[in-house]
Amino acid sequence: MLEIKNAVKVFAQGTPNEHKALDNVSIKLDKGDFVTIVGSNGAGKSTLFNSICGNFWLDKGSIILDEKDITYLPEHKRALEIGRVFQDPMKGTAPNLTIEENIALAYSKNKKGMFSFAVNKKEKEMFREALMEFDMGLEDRMKTKVGLLSGGQRQVVTLLMCTFVMPKLLLLDEHTAALDPATADKVMDITNSIVKRNRLTTLMITHNITSALNTGNRTIMMDEGSIILDIKSDERKNMSVDDLLNMYSGKKNKKFDNDRMLLS
């Protein structure tokens, strides 16, 4: 479904600040896989996401999505097939547009022609029913500008926008990290429900190792631009945080630098 082959990305190449952000990264996801990604700052997690989305092109390697080579596909064309929710709740929505208008813009990807936030009666009811499933009262605030919502509410709207027209791939870029614990749990519950119901192929970066081990069906750890651990469902089933950190130490011969990672 998604296959990344020998991905290499070097920034500031040929200068004293040269940095290899991706170092021959290869990974393959089947349809419906929900893979969590952990790693310290600078491990290459966000660079991997940016390369998948087309924010820049790889220096070497290839990206195959649903048997289609998208390695050099423009970013705006990839956006039609890839949904992404960022850590910052301010990203992913238009704050001066209403909830209804934001969802309409996302839904218009399903139509031929230009993007539009004009909504007919049938679509309005469809949006309302979708919002009701989240049990956050957003269906009664469809005329509210998104910029007036809380961070958790904005993330839920962004999730809906990313999945109303079902993408081939969903990328979750630490999408609960900026939320308070109770709201983060609520957004994560909604995320799991959407992914499971639609068997949606998903990659999720998280700074919470416990969450990484308890979410989805597979966990990978990145370090210095490489995937150093790829832990499948059976192996991960009874794994603790200490087990994972010990595996890291065995691979790298050093302790994990937990900087902003949460271990529990």
Q: Where is average pLDDT lowest: 47-61, 195-209, 213-227, 237-251?
A: 237-251
Averaged pLDDT of the chain: 92
Per-residue pLDDT reduced to its tens digit, 135-177: 999 999 999 999 999 999 999 999 999 998 999 999 999 999 9
Closest CA to 4 of 54, 90, 64, 93: 64
Q: Over 80: is that where the pLDDT of 125 sits? A: yes
The values of phi and psi at residue 113, to 5°, are 105, -165
Mean local confidence (pLDDT), 93-114: 84
Q: Over 80: is that where the pLDDT of 116 sits? A: no
- Report percent pLDDT > 70 for the chain: 94
Q: Where is average pLDDT lowest: 91-95, 117-121, 193-197, 255-259?
A: 255-259
Please report the pLDDT score of residue 117 as a whole number: 59
Mean local confidence (pLDDT), 86-97: 93
Mean local confidence (pLDDT), 230-257: 88
Q: Over 80: is that where the pLDDT of 74 sits? A: yes
Q: Over 60: is that where the pLDDT of 212 sits? A: yes
How far apart are alpha carbons 153 and 183 in whole angstroms? 9
- Residue 108: pLDDT band with limits 50, 70, 90: confident
Please report the pLDDT score of residue 111 as a whole number: 63
Please report the pLDDT score of residue 256 as a whole number: 77
Mean local confidence (pLDDT), 99-117: 76
How far apart are alpha carbons 45 and 40 in whole angstroms? 9
Please report the pLDDT score of residue 259 as a whole number: 53
Please report the pLDDT score of residue 120 as a whole number: 87
Per-residue pLDDT reduced to its tens digit, 25-46: 999 999 999 999 999 989 999 9
Q: Over 80: is that where the pLDDT of 77 sits? A: yes
**Residue carrying the six token digits 């957004």:** 187
Q: Over 60: is that where the pLDDT of 263 sits? A: no
Q: In this structure, what token pair is assigned to residue 12?
A: 């500031």
Please report the pLDDT score of residue 251 as a whole number: 86
Please report the pLDDT score of residue 129 as a whole number: 95
- Residue 254: pLDDT band with limits 50, 70, 90: confident
Mean local confidence (pLDDT), 4-19: 96
